[in-house]
Amino acid sequence: MFEHLTQQPADKILALMTAFRADTRAEKIDLGVGVYKDATGNTPVMRAVKSAEKVLLETQDSKSYVGLAGDPAFADSMIDLLLGDAVARSSVAAAAQPGGTGAIRQALELIRNTSPDATVWLSNPTWPNHPSIIKYLGMKSAEYRYFDSETRGVDFDGMVADLAKVKKGDVVLLHGCCHNPTGANLNLTQWQDVIDLLNKIGAIPFIDIAYQGFGDGLSEDAAATRLVAASCPETIIAASCSKNFGIYRERTGLLMVITQDDAATKLAQGTLAFLNRQNFSFPPDHGARIVSTILGDATLRADWEAELEETRNGMLALRGQLADELQRLSGSDRFGFLAQHRGMFSRLGTTPELVEKLRTDHAIYMVGDSRMNIAGLNAQTVPILAQAIIDAGI
């Protein structure tokens, strides 16, 4: 049987990581891997996470299974963090998942099982796991324009023109704040226009969000997601705790399904539990307990929010420094978009050939489509990157 296996395509990010590690140049800079790094190049354990784990160590008296949907306290705390009072809690079905990608996979399973003919619309660009899982599940997909390579902002006219082709019952995967790999975000007016269009068509919004608190603040970053949830008859949300809690390896995520009917919500809740049972039975719990412990304790939550704010402001400072340095070197404001983008990522909007030139000539590693992780920089490496960008002719 195994002789019939076929070689799967290599993951581009993992290949980039391998090449970076093999590079012996001392001045090399890694802007490819999508994890937060501090000024020393480390991905630290947040203070509140360490404190919460101490609490769990001292108080947890069992490692027995939790329910099929996970610990209710985790779902409640995450729903409150992301949705606030935008919708009633009784309108939200939720189930813990193994990370944000686990939530995406489970959401797509839900869509396939309930509406097998639906097309899932993806932004161009999006994250590789979105089309990969859709293809693996044998589902239909289509693309809508998102990024304008000239302005390095959102191609909103193109986006709306493409979404006008969406059919009733289709699902449109949207990126929450800071989530699109380009770093470009819709404003609230644009979000309302998208909502109005989807409601007119009868399509279902599906939001992927993992960076709440990395953009303009916890509440500000949730505003668009709350607007969608409050305005649409049905909404699907996949949320990850990897980034804003820094618990990447704990694989902590939540899938939410929002309806306007209590009976439909109960049915959705039972279906989410059923899907968990088919895929992995009970979801992982350690990361979920960390999150609910932090969000349920005023002192721990305040410390978490303070450190998250330090992280957010640090990335904004790096963005501003890079944009200023490039303006100084180029004598133009064509890189001003870097200061306008939000979150960990920005897309330079250049060619794969020039990205390769950055790697070959300057030991600067980023994804071939010119997506770079701003958190991979520090105050000392920003001028090096800026000079390399100018020297490469970007």
Instruction: Name the 3-class secondary structure at 345.
Output: strand
Instruction: Please state, in angstroms and rounded to a whole number, the distance separating the CA atoms of residues 39 and 258.
Output: 39
Cβ neighbourhood burial of 223 (10 Å; 0-12, 13-18, 19+): middle
* DSSP H or E segment with residue 260: none
Could you give the angle at the alpha carbon of 371 between the alpha carbons of 367 and 372, nearest 5°? 90
Long-range Cβ contacts of 63-66 (<8 Å, 24+ apart): 65/281, 65/282, 66/96, 66/282, 66/283, 66/285
Instruction: Name the 3-class secondary structure at 154.
Output: strand
Please report where in the chains the tokens 């303006």 appear, as a residue.
327
Q: Tell me whether residue 243 is one of the annotated catalytic residues.
A: yes
Catalytic residue among 37, 103, 127, 238: 127
How far CA 83 is from CA of 80, 230, 254, in Å, comes to: 5, 9, 13
Measured over the CA atoms of residue 235, residue 240, residue 243 and residue 246, the dihedral's sign is positive
User: Residue 295: which of 57, 55, 44 has the closest Cα?
Assistant: 55
Q: CB–CB of 307/47 below 8 Å?
A: yes
Strand-pairing partners, residue 364, are 29
Cβ neighbourhood burial of 373 (10 Å; 0-12, 13-18, 19+): buried
Catalytic residue among 96, 239, 243, 323: 243
- The terminus-to-terminus CA distance of the chain in angstroms comes to 50
Q: Supply the DSSP symbol for 346.
A: E
Instruction: Name the 3-class secondary structure at 280.
Output: coil
Q: Tell me whether residue 127 is one of the annotated catalytic residues.
A: yes
Catalytic residue among 48, 52, 93, 210: 210
Catalytic residue among 30, 148, 170, 208: 208
Q: Tell me whether residue 222 is one of the annotated catalytic residues.
A: no
User: Which residues are designated catalytic?
Assistant: 127, 208, 210, 243
